[in-house]
Structures are given as C-alpha cells and as structure tokens.
Amino acid sequence: MFDVFAAALIEIATRPDLLGLSLTGVMVGIILGALPGVSSTMALAILLPLSYAMPTDAAMVFLIGVFSSSVFGGSISAILINIPGTPGAIVTQFDGYPMAKSGRAGEALSYALLASTVGGLLGLAILSIVAPLIASAALQFRSPEFAMAAIFGLTMLAYASPGSTFRGILVGCIGLIVGMVGFDKLTDVARFDFGTRVLQNGIDIVPLTVGIFGFAEVLINLSSTNQPITHVARINRIFPPLASLPKLIAPMMRGSLIGTFVGAIPAAGSAIAVALAYAQEQRLSKEPETFGKGAPAGIVAPEASNNACVGGALVPMMTLGVPGDTMTAVLMGALLLHGLRPGPLLFAENPQMVGTIFGSLFFAILLTLVFGFVAIAAIIQFLKMPRHILMVGIATLCIFGSFAVRNTMSDVYIMIAFGAVGFVMNKLKLPTAPLAFGLVLGPLLEENLRRSLIISRGSWSVFIDRPISLVLILLSMAALLYPLVGLYRKNRREQTGREI
C-alpha cells in the first residue's frame, strides 16, 4: 500500500498542474465552507460539473481539496461570528467564539487550523493503514449501537452545562422535540407540524444553529448595553503561545480517533462526531467550568474530530462502496462519472486510484494549513470594522445563509424564531448548546431504537445482547452516576468539615 501512496505523493508533488488544482480547490473550499448555509456537500456538488472535463486524477485532486478544506472553512465563521459555516462546525464555536470575543480571534483560528491539520493527517494515516479493518469494525455498528451511542451522547448533556445540569437536560429535551418536527423517518407520519408547511419541512440543523447562536447573539448584543456598541477588543496575536500546545496534544488525538471512527460509520456524520468529542473532552478536563468560555481544548478536540471525519468517511466509500456521508456520496458520484466504481474491488483492481485519493488528501491538508494561515491574517482584519455594522452584516448573513440551505423561506422563519428563543434563553440564563445536541442526537436515537426493535422482533434485550451496545449502555450509566457520586462526596466532605 505504501509504495502506491508514495508514488502518488511524488506524482502530485512534481506536477504543477495537480498542485495548482489542489491549491485552487483548497482556496475555493475554505471560502465556500466559511459561507453560512453552504455545507461541504453543497460546495462539492456546485464544483462537481467543473471536474467533468478534467482527467480522473486531476478531478480527484481538485474535489478532495475542496472537500477537506471546506471543513476548516466552516470553522472560520463559527469562530468569528458564532455561525457554523458547515454543520460539523457547530461545536467549534462553543469555545471558539468566546475566545474570539475576548480579542483572541487569531489564536482561536490558529488553534482550529492546527487541530484541523492534526485531525486530518491522523484520519488519513488511519485510513491508509487500516482502512479495511476499520470498515469491518464500523459495520459492527448497527442500529442498536447507533441508538445506544445516541443515548451515550445525550448523557453527556449532564456535563455540557456545568452548574445547571438539570436545566441543561431539560433544554436537551426541547432539542429532542425540535428534532421530531416534520415527517417521521420510519412511518412518514407528520408530527408537531400543526398542519403547516413550514413545520412539515422539519427543522434543519443549520437554520437552528444559525438562529440560536448567530442571530440570538446579534439580538443579545443589541440589548445588552445601553451604551453604544463599541469596537471589539484588539486582536493581539495570531499564533497561540507555544507553551499552550503540548497540553492540547491529547485532546487532539482523542478528537481525531473519535472523528475517524464515527466518520467511518456509514450515515453517522461529522455533527455527531464533534458533539461526542466535545462532551468527552469536557468530561475529562480538569477545569470543565472553562468550557464554553474559550477553553483551547474545547476548540481543538472537535476541530480535530471534524477533520478526521474526512479520512473516516472515505473508509466505507473506498472499501465497501457505501458513502459514509453526503459529501462522500458526491465524491463517489464523481468517481463513477469517470468510470471508476469505488467498492470492494477498488483496492485490488485500481490501486493507483487509491494512492491518488490518499495523496490528494495529504496535499489538501498541507495546503489548507499554509493557505489557512495566510487567510487568518487577512480575515481577522474583518473584525476591525465598526461593531454595529458587523452586527447588521451578520444578521443579513444569517437570513441568506439559512435560506440557502434548502432554498426555502420557511427556514428563514425558523432561523428567526430560534434567534428569539436563543435570546429568551440567554435572558433566562439557560444553556443553549444542549438544544443543538438534542437536535443532532434525537433523530438518530429514535430512528435506530425503533428499527432495532423491528429487527429484533420487539425484544428489548437486543441492546444488551450485543457487546458494543452493552458497553455503551454501561458507559452511559457511569456517566450519569458519576456526578451523583461527586455530589455525595462533596456533601460528605462538607459535613465532616463542619463536624471538625
């Protein structure tokens, strides 16, 4: 495998046309990814026809450049203006935006970029070494495991909002209900729709996050001060302090592993990977209370995970012929158009193409790093514009971004409604992040729980008969009980303290 990979690397490195295409793809990908409402999938689909005329290897180099870099692009708008450019960036902003708000936008972007690179490279390494192994492991992950993984993710809500756990869980429940709006995935019955078209569309993750994070933030900004809205704090530096980096290696690694594996599971998607990576990092952190206020670990773990998903998502496509997500579905379409059928026979019949895909991804990641730093230097200048104009501009972007996702005006109304909800929740001092978690994990849980029961013919024991599912249940229970134990210990300590 390595000789093919090396040959492809040399091939791309020595051909200026391929390098140029890769760089073009990376630049376009970052810009489109940063536009709210343009997901990586859309960026790929828009640029796909451009690749029809190219030879197969050039088309792959270009499209993988777009694919891989748009993931980082999505984090730019997440960090700068609290609007996720792509659904995979929803978690990056939890800490990225607070950090940017405190005048450290350059640092936050650099953390994201470094983590992107590490995550991308790690995902690629795992992909190139153990793709078939991962593919078969990922196939063990079926409906019961999906359902229990969603449960595990939901128990993480207990950690996602320190200090107000109970309220966090209730907000998560609202997220679950919001995720049920629209047609039921299994029976096509409309739910929570009140007979209206707007609600039958269901609530897409992008308008919701744009509304509840981006637009709500604008409203909060407008209301928070009676004094005029002034400039943001100065942008101090671009590169983060070197001393902060060693501590972040472990979070990046954990994030990457989660990303690669979740990405490899067909139809799981990066939004789930980043949610799990973030929740886990918060749980493991020694200072969980800093999360949500600009903790570097809260940026790098989901970012690494988000980018590792790229490599992960290629695993099922290349080994099984099943696209891991919608982005790889577009890539697969491109390969098919060029007469290549990714699937169980690709490694045997067409090793050069496998090498080219690995090589393209490698260069895409490197060029994203290089171009990313250039872009960061330019992009943060954007924050120097007057604050009030920035706010109006962000609101405009919220409107058009949420429209563009599905080209329907109802998504704009949904965005506005959740902007208002986010504003009210801020006034009530409720955490908003669990709502997004609930929306991502709820449909996953419901669909797979019910499907598991159909397949097991109604027997609930399916969840404890399967080993991975059982482990996930035990982990969830541990996650739920752990804070109670902590509370008990604290109480004990306080009591004994008082006695002495």
Partner 1 sequence: MTMLRLSRRTLFNALFVSTLALAAGPATAAGFPEKPITIVVNWPAGGGQDTAARLIADWASKRAPVPIIVSNVTGAGGANGIRAAAEAEPDGYTLGIMGSSFVARGYLNENATPLEDIDPLVFFGPDPGALEVRADTGIKTVQDYIDKLKAEPGSIINGNDAPGGSSHIVASLFESAFDVEMTKVPYQGYAPTVAAIISGEVQSATLPVHQLADQHKAGDIIILAVAAEARHFLTPDVPTFKELGFDFVAGDWRALFLPNGVPSETKTYLEKLFMETMSDPAFVEAAQKVGFMVTPMPPAETKAWIVAHDAAVYPILLDADLVTTRKK
Partner 2 sequence: MDNDAGRNQNNAGLDLGVAVFFLLWAGVGWVSIATNSSLFSGRATGLDPGPALLPIITLAILTAGGLALTVSPVRKWMSASRRIRWKSDLNWRPIGFLACVVAFPTIMHAIGYAAATALFVFFWSFALAPNAMQRPRRTLAIATIAAIVTTLLIYVGFDLVIRSRLP
Which residues inside 65-124 make contact with partner 1, applying CB under 8 A? none
Closest by CA position to 304, among listed 240, 380, 249:
249
CB contact set of 241 (below 8 Å; sequence gap of 6+): none
235 contacts partner 2 (rule: CB under 8 A): no
Candidate residues 54, 192, 200, 340; the one interacting with partner 2 per rule CB under 8 A:
192
Assess 393 for contact with partner 1 (CB under 8 A).
no
Question: Counting contacts by CB under 8 A, is residue 329 touching partner 1?
Answer: yes
Instruction: Give the chain's length.
Output: 500
In 3D space, the residue among 356, 366, 370 whose CA is nearest the CA of residue 59 turns out to be 356
CB of 338 to partner 1, least distance (A): 8
Rounded to whole angstroms, the Cα distance separating 208 from 196 reads 18
- Confirm if 109 and 95 have CB atoms less than 8 A apart: no
Quick one: which segment of 88-96, 171-179, 340-348, 421-429 binds partner 1 (CB under 8 A)? Answer: 340-348
SS3 491: helix
What gap in Å lies between CA 290 and CA 352, rounded to an integer? 47
Choose one: 132-140, 255-263, 370-378, 443-451; the region binding partner 2 (CB under 8 A). 443-451
For 284-341, give the DSSP string: H-S-GGGTTS--HHHHHHHHHHHHHHHHHHHHHHHHHS--SSHHHHHHHHHHHHTT--
Helix (H, G, I), strand (E, B) or coil at 430: coil
Q: In the set 166, 242, 286, 498, which binds partner 2 (CB under 8 A)?
A: 166
Q: Is 143 helix (H, G, I), strand (E, B) or coil?
A: helix
Min. distance of Cβ 252 from partner 1 in angstroms? 27
How many whole angstroms separate alpha carbon 79 and alpha carbon 97? 4
Does 457 interact with partner 1 (rule: CB under 8 A)? yes
498 counts as binding partner 2 under rule CB under 8 A: no
Q: Looking at beta carbons only, is 212 or 268 nearer to partner 1? A: 268
Residue 391's binding partner out of partner 2, partner 1, none, with CB under 5 to 8 Å set by partner kind: partner 2
320 makes contact with partner 1 (CB under 8 A): yes
Computed on alpha carbons and rounded to an integer, the radius of gyration of the chain in Å comes to 22
- Binding partner of residue 339 among partner 2, partner 1, none, CB cut-off 5 to 8 Å per kind: partner 1
What mask, x for binding partner 1 by CB under 8 A, covers residues 235 to 274?
A: -------------------------------xx-------
- CB-nearer residue toward partner 1: 95 or 411: 411
Q: How far apart are CA 14 and CA 229, in angstroms?
A: 52
Buried b / exposed e along 230-250 (16+ C-beta atoms within 10 A):
eebeebeeeebeeeeeeebee
Identified binder of partner 1 from the candidate list 231, 247, 341, 427, rule CB under 8 A? 341
309 binds, among partner 1, partner 2, none (CB under 5 to 8 A by kind): none
To the nearest 10 degrees (0 to 180), the angle between helices 351-379 and 105-139 is: 160
From residue 41 to residue 70, the character string flagging contacts with partner 1 as x (rule: CB under 8 A) and all else as - is: xx-xx--xx--x------------------
* Footprint of partner 1 (CB under 8 A): 31, 41-42, 44-45, 48-49, 52, 139-140, 142-143, 182-183, 185-188, 190, 197, 200-202, 204, 266-267, 316, 320-323, 326-327, 329-330, 333, 336-339, 341, 343-345, 374-375, 377-379, 381-382, 406-408, 447, 451, 454-455, 457
